[in-house]
Structure 1
Amino acid sequence: MELLEETLKSIHEADKGAIKRAWERMDSLTKPIGSLGRLEEIAVKISGITGEVKNKINKKNTIIMCADNGVWEEGVSACPQELTATITDNYTKGVTGIGVLSKNVNADICVVDIGVNADFNNPKIINKKIAYGTKNMAKGPAMSREEAIKAIEVGIEITDELIKKGYDLLGTGEAGMCNTATSAAVISALGKIDSDLIVGKGSGLTEEGFLNKKNVIKKAIEINKPDASDPIDVLSKVGGFDIAGLCGCFLSAAKNRVPIVIDGIISCAAALCAYRLNSNVKNYMFPSHMSAEAGAKYVMDEIGLKPCLDMEMRLGEGTGCPLQFSIIEAALAIMNNMVTLTEASIEDSKFLVDIREK
């Protein structure tokens, strides 16, 4: 609990002075003001994080939290639970979606076993197992409050360590059967929204299975009565170790003033928990894509963020992060390498008016 409390106290607002200087440079570049849209906003937001107008990304990494969920026994997933362990192991081989996309942008991944219902003999998987999966949230709390805090602190510790190793752009990914169910439950509970409006089909459920999933999530919320004003209570009662761990990743990135990317619905649920714990976390978050899962839009609306991409992606794993890494680096290239009107020796006042008005 001490690490979590210290982290929350260490998260501050963006550097407003750096933001002002960044906008001054951005608006002086050889282009109509605002003509590069969201790329301009991203570059300036990075300045608010680092305190510098010009920034460069040196090392990129997507943190993948892997865990099983006891609610699997309710039939809310079309996949066997053993698939979590298989996927977790395959992440380290570079052959999954996140592995291929990360290689494409020269980014690394960090695979963490925070609660998989299996043991691994793989040195590339970091063992931070809290338990062999959570309990069945349809019958009682998924985990204890102490376990939820421990999972959050695992995320903080892992992210702190990566930042010490020089990683200055991070992403968030996961693996875990039924984690679209736990994510929907967390978002529904925090937002006090009818869970039927949040629940998505996840991985290939039939209509009958989808109805069962809705009923199970509604039952879990009714039985556990999570406190919407307390994100840790919500995580402990209807969440997962992966969501809690990713929540810690967001908190650590904000504490260390490092940008971090939100992936899909599980990452969204974790981001919402982190935001509820300290709203300044928003200044360090960059959503990648709009997940096809229904709850993602609610999370983006509450936090006040807008994904850059809408590609009907719903794989998870963190696959949206490498795509967003490229967009962020493109935004920084504009800030760093485009010349200003003065640097380009464009001094004709009529031309300046014309270019600004386009």
Structure 2
Amino acid sequence: MQRSRKTVKIKDIAAELGVSNSLVSKVISGNLGTTKVRPELQEKILKRAKELDFRPNPLSSALKRGRFGAIGLLIHPIGVPGSELLDRLLMGVTKELNNHGLRLWLQFFEDDQGFFDFCNQEIYRSVDGLIVAGVPHRETYSLIENLNKDGLPVVTSFRRHSVPGVANITYSDKLQGKLATQHLIQKGCQRPAFLCTDDPEDQREVGYREAMAEAKLSVDQGLLVSTEKFPQMHIFSFMAGRAMAEKMVTSGLKFDGIIAQSDQQAIGAINYLREQGIKVPEQVRVIGVDDSPMCTASTIPLSSVSPEMATIGHELIKNLVGYIDGKKPESIDITPKLIERESTR
């Protein structure tokens, strides 16, 4: 059985060396100020602290600096059920928080009022910095901007939109669409279809069009497939993907690939194609986005483009902690990662 590590305290080092607790604390922290200490004694304290593997208590240190030792995360969850986008973001956040010895103050919200309820004066007495992530709410932007201007370090993670003066760390959905399309083209597809969301600002569609143009392949309107059968909140579902695939097949559209907007959409499309005797990937190659667990649970393992949410969580904390310590953060677009499986091989 592994024995637990004994916690070494400042008073232990002080007692052993016959000096005061405050002197050991000042030497280890490097904050001697006007305190005089012999170089040989300073070296002795530092050496003994290293030998004993002394680790400062991060919460205690934070409080002494006038901090709370906590980071706030306000999030409107993204992704369809089963995508695990939120789970992976939180994994990246908590892992990096542990590296800094910090706690997480977590709140979920679904509308503007929910956000305003949490962002009151109490937040200044609860956290050292704030992350706002997930589905963007334009009505909250002015408050986020003011929180940041008033001295509470804030970073965001919103797709496409950003708050003036606030660093935004997210993934490039345009590159997601482009990578997925390039992958199908490299596999020999000449007429890959794109499943639309009817969003006029859809950056994945922009990426699709760019990849097609660079490959000198034409995009006729038939390859941009949408469905009016489902409301927007269900557009990423299995049934939406199935309905789009049915629309393509029954209309006689010629296509040799499908770029879906979620893994659920892609699997719904695959299921319909197989029922019609259309072979995947031999006749039609299919790729999704999110790289959710269902990719490997599908009857045909699904290729997908991961947004790398754990990396985003890591970068959010890393940059916010740097901001709290005086380093101005910059906006970052994390590069998505293409995962190839049987559906495109």
Q: Which has the larger radius of gyration?
A: 2
Q: Which has the higher helix share?
A: 1
TM-score calculated relative to the size of structure 2: 0.28
Calculate the TM-score normalised by the size of structure 1: 0.28
Work out which structure has the larger RCO, using CA pairs closer than 8 Å and 6 or more positions apart in sequence: 1
Structure with more of its chain in strand, by fraction:
2
